[in-house]
A and B are shown apart, each in its own frame.
Chain A
Amino acid sequence: MIKITRLFQWTIFGVIGLFGVLGAANAIVTLAAIDRDLTRETRENSQNIAKAIADSNVDILLNNDLSTLQSRIDQMLPLLGSNGYIYITDEHNEIIAHTFVPNIPEEISTSEPTGGIIERTLKGKGDFFEVSHPILAGVGGNVHILIDQDDVSLLIQGAMGNQVWPLAITFLVAIVLGLLLVNLAARPIQQLLHYAVALAKKESVDKPQNDKLLVRKDEAGDLARLYQYFALVADPNRSGIDAK
């Protein structure tokens, strides 16, 4: 157990507070960066998948080979997490292939054509963001990718969890080290206090730690020697003091 000297109590509280503020600020900045980067990365990945489907299946669409098209989007589906969906609309905005079970959600079947990134809530399925990419500049239809926002949140939480632990451990180690350093700084003062009390009580001060204190070349040594001087001035016959 580390004992904190009264002299440095406020100092150590200040150090802990400072570390806390620094740690919290670091965590907020890091977690915000993770949230922003992973959200952006997920959306970019979705856009890339949509683009890949749109660009690589033009011939299949022009051949009206919907079973091969379905096979292709089925292969892409595992890339979208546990609850992702793909659907493809033709130039008339009619859905010609999709991965919904047991049916196409009404929010989608009745919606107007979309583009870019939008957010959707699908009844019974959750909250999604939807990424779209045109096929042949839109004249061949559009590819739509739905990513479950819960999946993204889980991904972000997982990444945050990975960051929070190192930050928390660093914070604790810093506090312990701070305490140790303050304690190290306070030790000569405590020795000086014990020496001064012994002189005042006219107790024996012939101890190895006092010898070490008296030969120190810092403020603690100067003060120890000054106390010794005052003790000898007050009582020149006092024994047990080896004037240095």
Chain B
Amino acid sequence: MNTKKTDRFSNPTRRTIVKGLAASPLVFALGANKLGAQELSQMSSNTQSSNSEFVNGVSDSQIVLGTSAAFTGPSRGLGIELYRGAMAYFQDVNSKGGVHGREIALTLYDDGYQPDPAVNNTTKLMRDDNVFALFGYVGTPTVTRVLPLLKKFQEESFLLFFPFTGAQPQRQLPYGPFAFNLRASYRQETGGLVENFVKVGREKIGVFYQADAYGRSGWAGCREALAKHNLKMVGEATYTRGTQYTASLKDQVEWFMRDKPDAIVCIGAYAACAAFLRDAIDGGLQVPIANLSFVGSENLLKLITDTHDNSEKYSQFLVNSQVVPSYNDLSLEGVQQYDEFMTKNAPSAPSEVTSKEEDYKTFDRSFVSLEGFLNAKLMTEILTRIGPEPTREGIEQAVFTIQDLDLGIGETVSFNADRRQGLDRVYYTIVENGSFVPLNDWTAASNGWTEAASS
């Protein structure tokens, strides 16, 4: 073990060795290497090829998971927070000796939330890095393009665990068997939002969405949910993936103004959705504006509050669905643990893959990092159940042994061949006093939106 640590210091790779607090200098030392993705990839390959003890991402001392996510660009907050949440848990596991004596390590690549880099990164992870499994991917357009690779390499039994997307492709044939999901689907999120809006009489629902697979997934969910009530969308508008907060989305707002919806469901990332919220309210479109969990609620709210003194003018119309409970709900054991580990381990952004030019301030707590934390907790449970001689072929059976597992959030997790999604519950939140709180009374909230619009 000591020799390996010395080797890792002298031959750093972009692999993040997740250590406990006692070993945090090592994390820092590795994290401080300013290496480009290509150099990092080459170094990793060299290390892997010269280190024959790694077999399919497993050595005597480590088990390596591979991640491609958005660590740069306008959606970087999602990749960074998801990673930080996962790290908070993995660091704790590793500080206690890992899983069956093996530390959990992550090999990270940045895809900037773009499909082509995600495909290239995944190919590297599978062929060059030969990781044990894929973990913690971010985004529908990226994951949708990666899924065929899992089928291509199915003989090597690669599986994708807990991607940060609620889209359908990894939940149904032909690619469903190659992935396991923890979070509820976009269909469930959009279905819940539409159901609740309709219940309070807001039947004219418009959809603002990202012009790609993610947007289409949420759009399809809204359409399906509305059809159950014999309703159709009242207006729809799109934006281009990668749109920044500084962009004007007044054209989209004007489009909705013609149709005058009672509510709008946004299927987008935080920068564009914050810009839309700003332009909608400023343009007189004062109706509840809902966002899905993927939006990155805290990132969205921060953009609004950082740029407006009277941010409540905008945030009072926000209603965001979440797929994990509130991180403030410390009555839940799992949330308590998250709170404790985030404080204790204080995970930082992965400096190896984030851009030095892009300033990013991490959040103390967030729904995204809580999801990352729960992903890591469940992944650790799976790795534990695989046993002391882990093989990729054994992963699926280990996952299927998970029945009614309590992650400490008031909802148990079960998997089987027909059920590859752990959680189903959707939570709804609104903004009060500058932070997201649970929305329990939709009627009162709807009245509040009406009052706010008329005032």
Residues of A within 8 A of B (CB): 59, 63-71, 74-75, 96-97, 99-104
Contacts and interface: CB of A to CB of B under 8 A. Distances in A.
A68 B169 contact: yes
Contacts of A103: 236-238, 251-252, 255
14 contacts: A63-B172, A65-B172, A66-B219, A67-B144, A67-B214, A70-B215, A71-B145, A74-B115, A74-B141, A75-B145, A102-B239, A103-B236, A103-B252, A104-B236
A197 B448 CA distance: 114
A239 to B, nearest CB: 95
B173 interface: yes
A70 B169 contact: no
A66 B217 CA distance: 6
A101 B240 contact: yes
B152 to A, nearest CB: 16
Interface of B: 115, 140-141, 144-145, 167-169, 172-174, 211-217, 219-220, 236-240, 249, 251-252, 255
Contacts of A96: 220
B213 A74 contact: yes
Contacts of A67: 140, 144, 167-169, 213-214, 216-217, 220
Contacts of B215: 70
B216 A66 contact: yes
B420 to A, nearest CB: 16
B-side interface mostly: helix
A68 B237 contact: no
Centre residue among A59, A71, A74, A97 by max chain B CB count within 10 A: A71
B255 A66 contact: no
A65 B212 contact: no
Contact of A69 (B174, B216, B252): B216
A151 to B, nearest CB: 19
A102 B237 contact: yes
A56 to B, nearest CB: 12
A71 B213 contact: yes
Contacts, number: 67
Q: Give the most central of B144, B174, B214, B251: most A CB within 10 Å.
A: B144
Contacts of A63: 172-173
Contacts of A66: 216-217, 219-220
Contacts of B239: 101-102
Contacts of B115: 71, 74-75
B172 A101 contact: no
Contacts of A97: 216
A90 B25 CA distance: 58
A102 B7 CA distance: 53
Most buried by B among A100, A101, A104: A101
A102 to B, nearest CB: 5
Contact of A102 (B140, B213, B217, B238): B238
A68 B175 CA distance: 11
Closest 9 CB pairs of A and B: A70-B216, A67-B217, A71-B213, A67-B213, A66-B220, A71-B144, A102-B251, A102-B252, A70-B213
B386 to A, nearest CB: 30
A104 B255 CA distance: 10
A31 to B, nearest CB: 37
A79 to B, nearest CB: 15
A33 to B, nearest CB: 37
Contacts of B213: 67-68, 70-71, 74
Contact of B212 (A71, A100, A102, A104): A71
A100 B169 CA distance: 22
A75 to B, nearest CB: 8
A114 B263 CA distance: 33
Nearest to B241: A74
A241 to B, nearest CB: 91
A181 B365 CA distance: 90
Contact of A64 (B220, B238, B251): B220
Nearest to B255: A103
Nearest to B140: A67
Query: Which of A63, A67, A100 has the most C-beta atoms of chain B within 10 angstroms of its own C-beta?
Result: A67
A66 B219 CA distance: 9
A185 to B, nearest CB: 67
Contacts of B216: 66-67, 69-70, 97
Contacts of A59: 174
B251 A65 contact: no
Contacts of B249: 102
